[in-house]
């Protein structure tokens, strides 16, 4: 019986695993960057060497998925190959190459009484990661956590359980050859949903929860957790085409944001278009949408004017399509566009296309979102596209970190005061 199997059978395993992770986090927090990087390289090699073991275990999840008749898209995300495992390894090597934020002096000064104050960057401690079917999160999140000096407790989706168990077993075997304690990466290897809820309130041992997945997973965590949550992801993103929008830019940006990867959070879901612009360019817009196989859910004006539009429901305005559909709302002013985004946006990424700098300025300053764009695609809201390196998710909340979260988002600070007897 492996350690993981015994854990699954032990009812108190979540708490015990979180405690073990916390203990490991204290050793990990004071490791230097060189030791952490060496460890990441060893993990990368280990994953490549053990690829066939991981693929065998992955096959069990795929088999199960076929029996349950999961969608093709789902099976694609679940499926591993030798090449994907090599990508995991390469991802770890890239994280090793990112700057270590830990130990950075954020600010320092000396008080009149001679006491020195240093604000230093330190790891958060233990990160609880709750996610759905993609086994790549198991590797990516572990790499980012370890590099930033944090232990991690992973709770993946049940459909990827064999893959995740195999990956974490390889990671723990790898860690045994490094300065990082093997307990620093833990997988809650059960398909019992209660295991997640146990994590929600484990404030003593888990410092932050990061949910990654669909809206319902994220809402459950936000609503039930007392552990602080870094909320990631749902993006109901809008492209506002102003009356002064350049035709080519508008179409390029719209089609890129809608079709490049329709299922991701920075894809566009609604086009808001100024009626003056639409009057001039309606036929070319309709043709381009048709060419790209995009179906239109429109407001009254659009439904009456477009050949193939269906009426948009409240849900169409409020939620992601995650596919080749778009909602189209017509407006008579930028103000009206901003009001629509205020009402339906999820504070992720919003774009305006216009040649009018003053209008752009109003939009950029008034829109409340992690990322706002003038004449560029919302698809750039992504750690690697913006040059941060790997990211652990995209925060749509305002506290702590907003937008793509790289290594610094996994740290906090500590005030370190040095005196020679100062009192108040």
In this structure, what token pair is assigned to residue 249? Answer: 């830019």
User: Measured between alpha carbons, how far is 168 from 185 in angstroms, rounded to an integer?
Assistant: 7
- Residue whose CB is less far from a second copy, 159 or 266: 266
- Residue whose CB is less far from a second copy, 202 or 370: 370
First to last CA, the chain: 59
**Residue 47: C-alpha distances to residues 88, 135, 149, 343 (Å):** 8, 13, 21, 46
Query: Minimum Å distance from CB 30 to a second copy?
Result: 6
Residues near a second copy (CB under 8 A): 26, 29-30, 109, 111, 115, 117, 122, 124-125, 207-208, 222-223, 226, 228-230, 246, 248-249, 252-253, 256-257, 260, 342, 360, 364-366, 368-377, 379-381, 385-387, 397-400, 402-403, 412-424
Query: Minimum Å distance from CB 370 to a second copy?
Result: 6
Closest CA to 25 of 189, 162, 186: 186
Residues 55, 166 contacting (CB under 8 angstroms): no
Closest CA to 133 of 170, 88, 166, 164: 164
Closest CA to 205 of 43, 37, 40, 12: 12
Query: Minimum Å distance from CB 252 to a second copy?
Result: 5
- Residue whose CB is less far from a second copy, 109 or 291: 109
- Residue whose CB is less far from a second copy, 187 or 351: 351
Q: Residue 208: helix, strand or coil by DSSP?
A: strand
In this structure, what token pair is assigned to residue 383? Answer: 């750690």
Query: Minimum Å distance from CB 416 to a second copy?
Result: 5
Q: Classify the C-alpha dihedral 130-205-172-388 as positive or negative.
A: positive
- Residue whose CB is less far from a second copy, 293 or 387: 387
Query: Minimum Å distance from CB 123 to a second copy?
Result: 9
Residues 262, 323 contacting (CB under 8 angstroms): yes
- Residue whose CB is less far from a second copy, 169 or 256: 256
Tokens 């929860």 — which residue? Answer: 209
Query: Minimum Å distance from CB 406 to a second copy?
Result: 12
Query: Minimum Å distance from CB 298 to a second copy?
Result: 24
Residues 28, 146 contacting (CB under 8 angstroms): yes
In this structure, what token pair is assigned to residue 258? Answer: 């809608």
- Residue whose CB is less far from a second copy, 192 or 319: 319
């Amino acid at each position: 019986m492996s350690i993981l199997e015994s854990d699954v059978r032990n009812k108190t395993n979540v708490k015990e695993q979180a405690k073990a992770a916390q203990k490991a986090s204290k050793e990990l927090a004071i490791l230097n960057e060189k030791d952490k990087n060496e460890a990441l390289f060893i993990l990368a090699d280990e994953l490549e060497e053990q690829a066939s073991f991981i693929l065998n275990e992955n096959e069990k999840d795929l088999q199960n998925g076929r029996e349950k008749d999961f969608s093709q898209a789902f099976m694609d995300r679940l499926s591993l190959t030798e090449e994907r495992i090599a990508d995991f390894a390469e991802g770890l090597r890239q994280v090793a190459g990112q700057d270590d934020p830990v130990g950075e002096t954020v600010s320092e000064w000396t008080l009149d009484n001679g006491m020195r104050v240093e604000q230093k960057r330190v790891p958060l401690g233990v990160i609880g990661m709750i996610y759905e079917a993609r086994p790549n999160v198991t590797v990516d999140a572990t790499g980012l956590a370890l590099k930033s000096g944090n232990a991690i407790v992973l709770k993946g989706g049940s459909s990827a359980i064999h893959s995740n168990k195999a990956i974490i077993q390889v990671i723990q075997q790898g860690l045994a050859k490094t300065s990082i304690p093997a307990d620093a990466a833990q997988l809650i290897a059960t398909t019992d949903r209660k295991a997640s809820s146990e994590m929600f309130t484990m404030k003593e041992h888990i410092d932050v929860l990061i949910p990654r997945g669909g809206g319902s997973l994220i809402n459950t965590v936000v609503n039930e957790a007392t552990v602080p949550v870094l909320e990631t992801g749902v993006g109901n993103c809008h492209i506002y085409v102003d009356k002064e929008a350049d035709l080519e830019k508008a179409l390029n940006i719209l089609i890129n944001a809608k079709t490049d990867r329709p299922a991701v959070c920075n894809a566009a879901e609604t086009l808001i278009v100024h009626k003056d612009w639409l009057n001039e360019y309606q036929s070319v817009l309709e043709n381009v949408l048709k060419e790209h196989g995009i179906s239109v859910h429109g407001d009254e004006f659009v439904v009456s004017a477009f050949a193939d539009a269906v009426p948009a429901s409240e849900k169409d305005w409020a939620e992601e399509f995650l596919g080749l559909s778009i909602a189209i709302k017509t407006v008579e002013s930028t103000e009206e566009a901003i009001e629509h985004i205020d009402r339906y946006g999820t504070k992720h990424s919003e774009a305006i296309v216009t040649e009018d700098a003053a209008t752009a300025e109003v939009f950029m300053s008034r829109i409340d979102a992690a990322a706002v764009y003038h004449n560029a695609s919302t698809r750039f809201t992504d750690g690697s596209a913006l040059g941060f390196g790997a990211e652990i998710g995209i925060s749509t909340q305002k506290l702590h970190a907003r937008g793509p979260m790289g290594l610094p988002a996994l740290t906090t600070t500590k005030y370190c005061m040095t005196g020679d007897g100062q009192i108040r």
